[in-house]
Amino acid sequence: MKFRTTIGLEIHVQLKTKSKMFCRCDNESDKAKPNTNVCPRCLGMPGTLPVANRQAIEWTIKTGLALNCKINEKSKFDRKHYFYPDLPKGYQISQYDEPLCRGGKVDLRSSIFGPRSVRINRVHLEEDAGKLIHKDGSSYVDLNRAGTPLMEIVTEPDINTPFEAKKFLQELQLIVRYLGVSEASMEKGHLRCDANIDVKDDKGRMSEIVEQKNINSFRFIERALLYEEKRLQEKYLDWPKGKTKVTRGYDSKKDSTYEQREKEEASDYRYFPEPDVPEIEVKSEKLAPSKPEGLKVKSNGIDIEKIKAEIGELPEDIRKKLESFGVAEDIREKIASAPDHARYISDAKKVSQSLASWITNEVTAEIAAQKIRYEDYKNNVPITHLSDLLALVESGKISKNSAKGIFKEMVKSGKRAVEIIKESGLEQMEEDSGLEEIICEIFKKNPKEHQRLVDGDEKLIGFFMGEVMKETGGRANPGAIRSIILDIKQKKKG
């Protein structure tokens, strides 16, 4: 029996705007005590009104554009009704039939499944609910999170393996991080994923559609779907006749899924257009610059051209660019998956393999070692300065080893490599600058090792090179040392 798996994802991304979606409360509640980051609006007090956050709308459109979506010229918010203690107004302000963005796609590349395109059904904007905390047999409501802007991204059922699902989610995380619209941390709940999976056989029969809710790590999404795929294949004889849908939870400890109790009645959210928030108009002509936060949308429309101009390079652009420069795949991926690195190289005319690997190794290490922010690093060492440093190594002016020391100093002081070299006399010694004498001296000090070298033990070349480096404080050109050592050795023999 041949099976075919179909997976579609619904992803919630918490936007990192300064204020909440419909009020001016701080959008960052991670460290706040329960119910301290709230105001009459997000508490749903009588008579309060929502005022849409322009930044959140612009960022959702920005994301939609990055996902190749069509942006609706007119869009609106709707009320979605249900009763729950963490939902202060008795409805969530969401978008029902006129989302901000529709119909996009994300291209994935992988050595495992090849090129794959996942279509995006829609991207819309809504407010988050609060949280319930269950403790000591009681339930407590924390409304700090209530009103946080959430972007919902819905894919078409274009994903065929759990691994692809994970890859897609990782790529999406990367894209929103590139765009700077979300921290997109799964652990912190900034990125949440629901997955729909079904399995079909080659006779056109189909399993039930299983919805898996709120999976909170990349590993779990793949594992939960793998488990479910297998479970659906195995119970193939029990597949229902018609189209049915069930909700299952994933137990990461047992690595299995379990059936979640369904609500007895079909949910009816009684959607209708939110009368308190004016329609959103998206214009393509240039508009006067807008204040970023807390402004009413209707007073001037959203300027799509301005948003487009802010998008910049996306992960796939970076990969392609590095590929064109001949950078190896593992390094390409390392840079593309770090938005900071990606933004760093965006100013470079050319990125060589050595520059790319310097970035993934030395830059990362030095930022960690000096405990600085990437921004500070970038200010001190623009990419052009780093390119200059590596050019000095390539031309043989300095050794790779001393380049590391110079780089450390560049990060600290913001000086350019040439300045540091001049100041500390780190320029590489050439053959004619007494290197031969130093080597002869070292041979004399180590007669036994010298004899073994003369007898043909090539391993000792490394030993002597190390000694010379010590003696010269790393300024000697390794190529030169090697050739002098071999030269003297030959002479001795001869």
Partner 1 sequence: MADQNSKLYQLTLKKASEKLKSGEISSLDLTKAVFERIETVEPKVGAFITLTKELALKQAKESDKRRVAEKTLSEIDGIPIAVKDLFCTKDVRTTAASKILDDFIPTFESTATQKLWDAGAVLIGKTNCDQFAMGSSTETSAYKETKNPWDLKRVPGGSSGGSAAAVSADMCMAALGTDTGGSIRQPASLCSIVGLKPTYGRVSRYGVIAMASSLDCIGPMTKTVEDAAILLNILAGEDESDGTTLPIAVPDYQKSLDGNIKGLKIGIPKEFFGEGMDPEVDKIVREGISKLKNLGANIVEVSLPTVKYALAVYYVIMPAEVASNLARYDGVRYGHSKAKSEKRKAKSLEELYIDSRTEGFGDEAKRRIMLGNYVLSSGYYDAYYKKAQQVRTLVKRDFEEAFRKVDILATPVSPTAAFKFGEKSGSPLEMYLSDIHTVPINPAGVPAISVPAGFTSNNLPVGMQLIAPQMGEEKLLNVANQFEKIAGITNIKPEL
- Give the interface with partner 1 as residue ranges (CB under 8 A): 40, 43-52, 79, 81, 83, 85, 88-91, 141, 268, 270-272, 275-278, 294-299
Torsion sign across C-alpha atoms 22, 24, 28, 33:
negative
C-beta of 393: minimal distance to partner 1 in Å? 58
Q: Which is nearer to partner 1, 89 or 341 (CB)?
A: 89
Q: Which is nearer to partner 1, 14 or 53 (CB)?
A: 53
Instruction: Evaluate whether 146 touches 186 at the Cβ level (below 8 Å).
Output: no
Cα distance between residue 385 and residue 417, in whole Å:
7
Q: Which is nearer to partner 1, 41 or 475 (CB)?
A: 41
Which of helix, strand or coil describes residue 251?
strand
Q: Nearest CA to 319 among 310, 331, 306, 308?
A: 331
C-beta of 406: minimal distance to partner 1 in Å? 54
| DSSP line for 260-315 | PPPPSSPP----EE-TTSPPEEEE-S------SSS--STTS-EEHHHHHHT----H
Q: Nearest CA to 363 among 379, 343, 377, 384?
A: 377
C-beta of 267: minimal distance to partner 1 in Å? 9
Q: Are strands 78-81 and 74-75 parallel, antiparallel or unpaired?
A: unpaired
C-beta of 272: minimal distance to partner 1 in Å? 6
- Specify the amino acid at residue 224: A
SS3 content of the chain, % helix, strand, coil (to 5): 40, 20, 40
Instruction: Evaluate whether 406 touches 453 at the Cβ level (below 8 Å).
Output: no
Q: Which is nearer to partner 1, 130 or 474 (CB)?
A: 130
Q: Which is nearer to partner 1, 47 or 115 (CB)?
A: 47
C-beta of 276: minimal distance to partner 1 in Å? 5
Q: Which is nearer to partner 1, 48 or 380 (CB)?
A: 48
Task: Give the rounded distance of the alpha carbon of 181 from its chain centre.
Answer: 11
Cα distance between residue 357 and residue 332, in whole Å:
9
Question: What are the two backbone dihedrals, phi and then psi, of residue 203, each rounded to the nearest 5 degrees?
Answer: -100, 10
C-beta of 269: minimal distance to partner 1 in Å? 8
C-beta of 9: minimal distance to partner 1 in Å? 25
Q: Which is nearer to partner 1, 51 or 153 (CB)?
A: 51
Q: Which is nearer to partner 1, 19 or 173 (CB)?
A: 19
C-beta of 46: minimal distance to partner 1 in Å? 4
| Cβ within 8 Å of residue 180, ≥6 positions away | 339
Instruction: Evaluate whether 79 touches 92 at the Cβ level (below 8 Å).
Output: yes
End-to-end CA distance of the chain: 77
C-beta of 8: minimal distance to partner 1 in Å? 22
Q: Which is nearer to partner 1, 85 or 326 (CB)?
A: 85
Tokens for 169, please give them. 């989610």
359 DSSP 8-state letter: I
Which of helix, strand or coil describes residue 342?
helix
Cα distance between residue 259 and residue 250, in whole Å:
9
C-beta of 82: minimal distance to partner 1 in Å? 9
Q: Which is nearer to partner 1, 236 or 272 (CB)?
A: 272
Task: Give the rounded distance of the alpha carbon of 337 from its chain centre.
Answer: 6
C-beta of 302: minimal distance to partner 1 in Å? 14
Cα distance between residue 108 and residue 93, in whole Å:
33
Which of helix, strand or coil describes residue 51?
coil
C-beta of 37: minimal distance to partner 1 in Å? 15
Q: Which is nearer to partner 1, 137 or 425 (CB)?
A: 137
Question: What are the two backbone dihedrals, phi and then psi, of residue 311, each rounded to the nearest 5 degrees?
Answer: -70, -45
| Cβ within 8 Å of residue 392, ≥6 positions away | 398, 403, 417, 418, 421
Q: Which is nearer to partner 1, 53 or 472 (CB)?
A: 53
